[in-house]
Amino acid sequence: MKKNVGKKIFYIILLGCLYFPVFADVYRYVDSDGVVTYSDQPQIHSEIVTLSPANISTQNNTNQTNHDSSKLITTKTEAYKTFEIIHPKNQTTFQNEINIPVILSISPELSHDDTVQLLLDGKAIFKPQNTLEYVLPKVFNNQLVLTRGSHTLQANLLDKNDKIIMQTKLITVFIHYTSTLNPVVGP
């Protein structure tokens, strides 16, 4: 009889350990370098994050033999809230780089119908693509792209009809290349 009581107490404690962390607070902290950290432990100057309920989707049972795909209508349920270039940062200087990675951020996630067009100095380098990561080469299609000096970067978010939905802020980057006429002499 005592064995059963011990097991019951063990299971009650186990359930309690699994149940109560669900109600723990989540804290958001941004350090001096701008790095965002989420934790269940509060830090100085941290803020409590209010989490929205989980999105739960149910699927209706449909008869596949009577399914008419021409009647399917898809709608965008959520508009984009943010669209920005997160790398490189504005006013970044690149020394002797052959390729420059460009990383974009969007919220909510990029729809499969929408595309992104990256602009260098106001001109499209690539065709619109469904990606948020690009590599700008120094030379593209036998043409010098990343010349010395300052360049602007911007991205357009396009819908399926290639109409602009959103634009990122314009950022400036600086490209420096070592001169072959005046090479740097070591110490």
Residue 110 inside a domain? The answer is yes
Residue 56: per-residue pLDDT: 47
pLDDT 10s digit of each residue in the chain, 187 long? 556 777 777 767 766 655 455 556 777 777 777 676 767 777 777 777 665 554 444 455 444 444 443 333 334 446 899 999 999 999 999 998 888 999 999 999 999 899 999 999 999 988 999 999 999 888 777 777 788 899 999 999 999 999 999 999 999 999 988 877 766 665 6
Q: Which residues contact 172 (CB under 8 A, 6 or more apart)?
A: 90, 91, 150, 151, 152, 153
What pairs with residue 43 in β-bridges? none
For the question of whether the overall pTM of this predicted structure is more than 0.85, the answer is no
Flag whether 161 is in a domain: yes
- The residue among 12, 29, 51 that closes a domain is 51
| pLDDT given for residue 129 in this prediction | 93
Give the span between the Cα atoms of 125 and 135, in whole angstroms: 11
pLDDT given at position 118:
94
Burial 145-179 (b: 16+ CB within 10 A, else e): bbeeeebebbbbbbeeeeeeebebeebebebeeee
pLDDT of residue 120: 94
Q: Are both 170 and 87 inside the same structural domain?
A: yes
Tokens in use for 17? 């350990």
What's the confidence (pLDDT) of residue 65? 44
185 domain residue, yes or no: no
Residues 98 and 153 in one domain: yes
Q: Is residue 31 part of a domain?
A: yes
Q: What is the CATH number of the domain that holds 135?
A: 2.60.40.10
Looking at 33, 51, 69, which one is the last position of a domain?
51
Residues 96 and 47 in one domain: no
- pLDDT at res. 97: 86
Question: Do 28 and 109 reside in the same domain of the chain?
Answer: no
Tell me: do 37 and 111 sit in the same domain: no
In a domain, 67, yes or no: no
Does some domain include residue 6?
A: no
Residues 104 and 39 both lie in one domain: no
In-domain check, residue 112 = yes
Q: Are residues 91 and 170 in the same domain?
A: yes
**pLDDT the model gives residue 172:** 96
Q: Count up the domains in the chain and report the number.
A: 2
Asked if residue 129 and residue 46 are part of one domain, the reply reads: no
Residues 42 and 121 in one domain: no
H or E segment at 123? strand 123-124
Confidence (pLDDT) at 50: 67
C-alpha to C-alpha distances, 157 to 78, 88, 90, 100, 138, nearest whole angstrom:
15, 18, 19, 20, 24
Q: Whole domain around residue 105: which residue ranges?
A: 82-176
Is residue 187 one of the residues assigned to a domain?
no
Q: Are residues 112 and 161 in the same domain?
A: yes
